[in-house]
Amino acid sequence: MKGIIFNVLEDMIVQQCGMAVWNDLLEKHAPADRVYVSAKSYEDMELLNIVQDVAARLQLPLQDVVKAFGNFLFQGLADRHANVVERFEDFTALVLGIHQVIHVEVNKLYHDPGLPTIGARVINPKKIEVSYHSPRKLCYCAEGLLFGAAKYFKQNIAISHDICMHQGADQCLLVIDFTDE
């Protein structure tokens, strides 16, 4: 997992829980004196252990915490890479451009980022189907990222996630419906 993901996780935890909680999480789940550098890679388990601890502290299901992080993560990445997000005129364009634009840019910036395979297609003007596949199975983070992108573009959405790798499927299917509220 790239350090930039840990950097945004730190921002979220410090903002919502305080620096003492972040330092405690690092003490429990990271090597001594760990400092996350955005372009460096770190073990996925470090991130997962931190997020699992947060879920336990908050007494929330892990998938809810991962989804909330994904939502927060979108703005954190957009702030750090505004030139990429600004290429898209709206939410639909961004979703359709995940693989062909965003992931291409990520690969330019970060060596071996371990990106998921994402496909998207418009079903009708108010519905987009997104397929997600990754050995990391961070589909709930992807769902949160989609909600974060929708918030960024001021687009109200609902997502159904009925086909999921966590239930044995080969890939996840996220169906985005545009809502009026």
pLDDT in tens, 41-68: 999 999 999 999 999 999 999 999 999 9
Q: pTM for the full model?
A: 0.94
Measured CA to CA, the distance from residue 74 to residue 11 in angstroms comes to 12
> Amino acid identity, residue 119?
G
DSSP string covering 60-75: --HHHHHHHHHHHHHH
Q: DSSP 3-state assignment of 25?
A: helix
- Residue pLDDT, tens place only, 114-170: 889 999 999 999 999 999 999 999 999 999 999 999 999 999 999 999 999 999 999
Tokens of 58: 């908050």
Domain boundaries, the chain: 3-60, 90-178
Q: How far is C-alpha 132 from the chain's CA centre?
A: 12
Closest CA to 63 of 167, 170, 143, 173: 143
Band the pLDDT of 103: cuts 50, 70, 90: confident
- For residue 3, the surrounding DSSP H or E stretch is helix 3-17
**Options 3.90.1520.10, 3.40.50.720, 2.102.10.10, 3.30.360.10; CATH of 90-178:** 3.90.1520.10
Which residues make beta-bridge pairs with 132? 118, 172
Measured CA to CA, the distance from residue 181 to residue 88 in angstroms comes to 22
